[in-house]
Amino acid sequence: MEDSSTSPTPAGGAERGRRIPPHRFRLLIALAVVGGLTGAAPGTSSFAAHEDAGTAPKQPKAEYTSPFTGLPAKRNPVLAVKIDNHKDARPQTALEDADIVGVEKVEGGLSRVFAIYSSHYPETLGPVRSAREYNVEQLRMFQRPALAYSGARQAVVDKIEKSPLYGVSHDDHPDAYERGGDHEPPHNLYGHPDKLLAKAPKASKADDIGFRFGAEPSGGTPTEEQTVDHGSSRTTFTWSAKEDRWLASFDGEPAKSTSGKRLGGKTVIVQKTDMPPDSSGKTPYIETVGSGEATVLRDGKAFTTEWQRTSATADTTYTLPDGRRMPFDKGQVWLVYQQR
């Protein structure tokens, strides 16, 4: 049956009432429906309308890369924490969450740990212990970080307070800490990063400190294990091909977290430096400004490099014998100071 619909024409047109062939009428109806659904103007395709509206998908923003680990991360403020490493303080809490874990020699040949948090923060960390005189110069490479610590000689406290660091001590800010866990005092003080950072609202955000990350360079000596002996304490790193990282041990025992995780890093720096007595005459002053030899462990190999830092606010660079910057493996970095 033929369609009896008619097409309207302009008023006074000579062809008013002229019949439209059925197939053409149905095509006009379909085009009108499509135009209405897409919002396109008559006679304009939906693609052209999309182009004209300027609604092309936006390109995602480039993700920030941590200068401390080489991994994607948020650019957060830097929180440095002095962590107890006495045998009665182990296992520690949340060292596995740090970007950088450092091991330092203290009085009596014992060791203490410092941890740098920025990519993300745990709810609780510790046990927190006292600061040392060299920490002021050492931590200035992070510009103005927050420093969480518990106790120190008055001369050290005065030096921290006069420095650009944001000292957040347990003595001054007890509400940012709590006693707990299975350890006996004084090895049972734990800090809460959210409360610690609230005391240092203008702490510097993560920035370049000299680390470079990239593919394994040529050369290197295959190495299964390396130990740094501080006299009354030892820190050992054993290569695990299965886990593709260096597993840490303290005094011959596997280093673990209270979470049960084995501690260790993708890259280990053994930085050789001078450690003369500080102003107390008893505690080593670890010199972090200067230059010297450093062994960098990555991918089951040891690489001989030279470290250099020209001032307290300067980066620390690690250079291969051919002049190239030593690339680290992406992930947590451990830094151990060794007396030369």
Alpha carbon separation from 279 to 147, 272, 289 (Å, rounded): 21, 21, 17
Q: Is residue 33 part of a domain?
A: no
**pLDDT for residue 29:** 40
Quick: pLDDT tens for 249-269.
999 999 999 999 999 999 999
Closest C-alpha to 250, from 265, 235, 240: 235
Quick: pLDDT tens for 43-101.
333 323 333 334 444 444 557 999 999 999 999 999 999 999 999 999 999 999 999 99
Q: Look up the domain containing 335 and give its range.
A: 79-339
**pLDDT for residue 47:** 26
**pLDDT for residue 63:** 79
Q: Is residue 10 part of a domain?
A: no
Q: Is residue 221 part of a domain?
A: yes
Q: Is residue 201 part of a domain?
A: yes
Q: Is residue 272 part of a domain?
A: yes
Question: What's the burial of 23, exposed, middle or buried (CB within 10 Å: 0-12/13-18/19+)?
Answer: exposed
* Structure tokens given for 166: 């944001």
**pLDDT for residue 53:** 36
Indicate which CATH number applies to the domain containing 244: 3.50.90.10
**pLDDT for residue 49:** 33
**Cα radius of gyration rounded to whole Å, the chain:** 32
Convert 12-22 to b/e letters by CB count within 10 Å (16 or more is b): eeeeeeeeeee
Separation of CA 65 from chain center: 8
Q: How many CA atoms lie within 13 A of 60 on its CB side?
A: 3
pTM (two decimals):
0.82
Count: domains in the chain: 1
* Structure tokens given for 269: 């720096």
Q: How many helices (H) and strands (E) does the chain have?
A: 5, 18
Q: Is residue 12 part of a domain?
A: no
Q: Is residue 168 part of a domain?
A: yes
Asked if 325 and 332 count as a contact pair (C-beta separation under 8 A), the reply is no
Residue spans of the chain under pLDDT 50 = 1-60
Alpha carbon separation from 173 to 114, 145, 155 (Å, rounded): 19, 16, 19
Closest C-alpha to 208, from 70, 335, 72, 103: 70
Q: Is residue 220 part of a domain?
A: yes
**pLDDT for residue 37:** 37
